[in-house]
Amino acid sequence: MSETTLPDVVPDAGLPGHVTIYEVGARDGLQNEATTVSTQTKAELITRLLDAGAPIVEATSFVHPKWVPQLADAAELMALLANRLGDRARDLPVLVPNERGLERALELGCRHVAIFGSATETFARKNLNRGLDGQFEMFAPVVERARDAGATVRGYVSMCFGDPWEGRVPIDQVVTAGRRLLDLGIDQLSLGDTIGAGTPGHVTALIDAFRAAGVTPDRLALHFHDTYGQALVNTYAGLRAGVTTYDASAGGLGGCPYAKSATGNLATEDLVWMLDGLGIEHGVDLGRMIETSTWLAGRLGRPSPSAVVRALGGAAGS
């Protein structure tokens, strides 16, 4: 990429100097595709994302194939990645919905796992077949066993900024759900705007509420969807509030198989463009990320949703 395709760097003194990008395209992105992507293509995608400098790449989910058939090859994928990446493959996070999923992940030597909870009753039942309280009873032995095995545990909370069935989700309800996961012993809590309905003031208020409840921004991550075009401005609000970990998906792929109003995730390229313009370090090579998403769009047979990929994909090549 030429220098003319890079943003001018104009730092904002009120923002963090470094951000961690938690790349979820290979899991959260591909799980919502109508067609199943081959195991070889998934392995190639993950390898390309790592080569582009993504510090964390969530690889897959050990969920029952009946619920997410696009990720039914989780064990095969991790074995293939072990052949490609060696011991490095064990550091790729994987989602585990329950104790059986955790058992499969630990058998393959995974060192980092994530659980996926809900801030609302309805989504907990649709996604986990458990109630809002029942999900924590299911997660408790998963977290305990994972930590006993030496694995780190990330916790996702979905529907933090609105629910398509229940509507508005009170901030204190989100904080209560998040605190319950943290109290189980998770290492990081990712707050999900599953339907993309959040706005900057809502983001600030939620982070302030967690801080008031004793949860500092360094324990939090933010996971935005761009349904209403708010993902980047919400990220900026998160930066101003002190959060330094952001989930993003290569090319803006993703959604949620249980919430049809949820469209794509925050595109990694769009996030990188903004961070580069603000002079915030993150370690991801924008050109190589664009090349990866352009390549993936070709495999999927449709253009990338990312604005930056659409603007610069032709210049980046494939």
pLDDT of residue 207: 98
Q: Whole-model pTM?
A: 0.95
Residue 309 pLDDT grade (very low, low, confident, very high; cuts 50, 70, 90): very high
Higher pLDDT among residues 167 and 65, named by residue: 167
Q: Give per-residue pLDDT as tens, 63-97.
A: 988 888 999 999 999 999 999 999 999 999 999 99
Q: Give per-residue pLDDT as tens, 277-288.
A: 999 999 999 999
**pLDDT at 195 exceeding the cut of 60:** yes
pLDDT of residue 66: 83
Residue 256 pLDDT grade (very low, low, confident, very high; cuts 50, 70, 90): low
Of the listed 143, 256, 290, 312, which one is catalytic?
256
pLDDT of residue 3: 47
For residue 33, the tally of other CB atoms under 10 A from its CB is: 15
Residue 168 pLDDT grade (very low, low, confident, very high; cuts 50, 70, 90): very high
Residue appearing with tokens 């309280």 = 133
The Cα 161–Cα 170 span in angstroms is 8
**pLDDT at 275 exceeding the cut of 80:** yes
**pLDDT at 259 exceeding the cut of 60:** no
Ranges of each domain in the chain: 17-316
Mean pLDDT of 225-240: 96
pLDDT of residue 2: 46
**188-193: strand order across its sheet:** 56-57, 20-23, 245-248, 220-224, 188-193, 152-158, 112-118, 94-95, 60-61
Mean pLDDT across the chain, nearest whole number? 93
- The amino acid at residue 120 is T
**pLDDT at 315 exceeding the cut of 70:** no
Q: Three-state SS for 254?
A: coil
Residue 263 pLDDT grade (very low, low, confident, very high; cuts 50, 70, 90): low
pLDDT of residue 245: 98
pLDDT of residue 233: 98
Task: Give residue 191's Cα distance to chain centre.
Answer: 10
CATH tag for 17-316 (out of 3.20.20.70, 2.120.10.30, 3.30.460.10, 2.40.50.140): 3.20.20.70
pLDDT of residue 314: 65
Mean pLDDT of 255-268: 67
Q: Give per-residue pLDDT as tens, 117-143.
A: 999 999 999 989 999 999 999 999 999
Residue 260 pLDDT grade (very low, low, confident, very high; cuts 50, 70, 90): low
Q: Give per-residue pLDDT as tens, 1-20.
A: 444 478 999 999 999 999 99
256 carries an active-site annotation? yes
Q: Give the closest residue to 222 by CA, choosing from 194, 192, 195, 250.
A: 192
- The amino acid at residue 155 is G
Mean pLDDT of 140-154: 98
Q: Give per-residue pLDDT as tens, 21-37.
A: 999 999 998 988 877 89
Tell me the percentage of the chain whose pLDDT exceeds 70: 94
